């Protein structure tokens, strides 16, 4: 029997990549799952999942606690999810990420949810530009993008929930997530272009930028690891494999998974909000990723072929 089986868990952003995967896994583990999220009907959620609301505001949260009871676990996966869009429309990203987190945290607190475990999937974007090598989770934040600033602000609101309302808070700063269900970012865009038959790829950057790629299955494993463990009122960890992979190497690995061998040219143009290096420091975290990049991209490539690259 899994710890938490039969208890109530909320998942916000359940119509998205992380939220949908979390909801499915919690249901498999026997939790009673209730969800918040836009576009939630675009995703097949587990049978028996209770849809609480498409929006998150304080009154809705308090009403949900009143009507359905205090959740033992809340995985807050709602919020902005695109660095470029956050820079283009910072006010909208602020509302989606920071304001929504405030509505959730204060709603839980005012409803008397002391002891509820709030897990917040944050982002390595809060670190900004860092030297090559693992980034410790106690590194001072230095965001260089609106997306990173807003994630950091949302983390602060979560900390307030622990201090003011007695929530137990786990913050996971995820690095580069990928896997079946992801319909954006590097591998989705490249996969669509390659499956459409493009015979060359011209890409921004140098190809020597490094990223720490983590499969969605391992991300969910870490979320559940944090849920099961005991610890301080607020715990902050990194979510990554602990391995830095050059972008050019990752693209070559992905092409092998798709069975393509298209020439790739890098323009050398680097966007101001893109860090040169990102790698997760995992010191002190009794957890490790199980999925290697080749296997993970193989699974993603198979899924991409199955869905036909539809947007």
Taking Cα atoms as reference points, which of 186, 193, 200, 300 lies closest to residue 247? 186
Please write the tens of the pLDDT for every residue from 268-287: 888 777 889 999 999 989 99
Dist. CA 141–CA 120, nearest whole Å: 17
SS3 303: helix
pLDDT value of residue 44: 64
User: What is the reported pLDDT for 41?
Assistant: 54
Calculate what percentage of the chain has a pLDDT beyond 70: 95
- Which tokens sit at 20? 């949908």
309 pLDDT exceeds 70? no
| Mean pLDDT, the chain, whole residue set | 92
Q: What is the pLDDT of residue 3?
A: 59
Query: What pLDDT score was predicted for residue 1?
Result: 41
Give the tokens for residue 288: 């490790």
CATH topology of domain 8-177+214-239: Rossmann fold (3.40.50)
**Alpha-carbon distance 91 to 72, whole Å?**
32
In tens, the pLDDT along 43-57 reads 567 777 888 888 899
pLDDT of residue 102: 98
Query: Is 179-212+243-307 assigned to CATH 3.90.25.10?
Result: yes
The 10s digit of each residue's pLDDT in 231-246 is 789 999 999 999 999 9
On the question of pLDDT at 252 being above 80, the answer is yes
Question: Which of 17, 65, 59, 56 is closest to 37 using CA atoms?
Answer: 56
Per-residue pLDDT tens over the stretch 176-220? 999 999 998 899 999 999 999 999 999 999 999 999 999 999 999
Domain residue spans of the chain: 8-177+214-239, 179-212+243-307
Same fold, 8-177+214-239 and 179-212+243-307: no
């Amino acid at each position: 029997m899994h710890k938490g089986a039969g208890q109530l868990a909320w998942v916000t952003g359940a119509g998205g990549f992380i939220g949908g995967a979390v909801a499915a896994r919690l249901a498999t583990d026997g939790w009673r799952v209730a969800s918040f999220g836009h576009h939630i009907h675009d995703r097949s959620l587990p049978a028996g999942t209770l849809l609480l609301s498409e929006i998150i505001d304080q009154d809705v949260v308090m009403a949900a606690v009143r009507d359905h009871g205090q959740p033992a676990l809340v995985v807050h996966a709602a919020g902005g999810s695109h660095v470029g869009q956050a820079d283009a429309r910072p006010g909208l990203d602020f509302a989606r990420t920071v304001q929504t987190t405030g509505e959730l945290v204060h709603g839980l607190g005012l409803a008397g949810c002391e002891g509820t475990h709030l897990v917040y999937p944050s982002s390595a974007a809060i670190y900004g530009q860092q030297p090559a090598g693992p980034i410790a989770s106690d590194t001072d934040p230095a965001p260089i993008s609106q997306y990173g600033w807003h994630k950091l602000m949302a983390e602060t609101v979560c900390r307030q929930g622990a201090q003011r309302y007695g929530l137990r808070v786990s913050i996971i700063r995820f690095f580069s997530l990928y896997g079946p269900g992801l319909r954006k970012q590097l591998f989705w865009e490249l996969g669509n272009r390659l499956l459409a038959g493009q015979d060359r790829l011209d890409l921004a950057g140098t190809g020597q930028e490094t990223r720490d790629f983590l499969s969605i299955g391992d991300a969910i494993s870490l979320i559940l690891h944090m849920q099961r463990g005991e610890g301080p009122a607020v715990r902050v960890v990194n979510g990554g494999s602990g391995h830095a992979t050059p972008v050019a190497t990752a693209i070559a690995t992905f092409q092998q998974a798709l069975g393509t061998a298209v020439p790739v040219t890098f323009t050398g143009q680097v966007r101001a909000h893109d860090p040169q290096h990102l790698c997760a420091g995992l010191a002190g975290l009794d957890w490790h990723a199980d999925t290697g990049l080749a296997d993970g991209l193989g699974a993603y490539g198979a899924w991409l072929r199955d869905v036909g690259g539809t947007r």
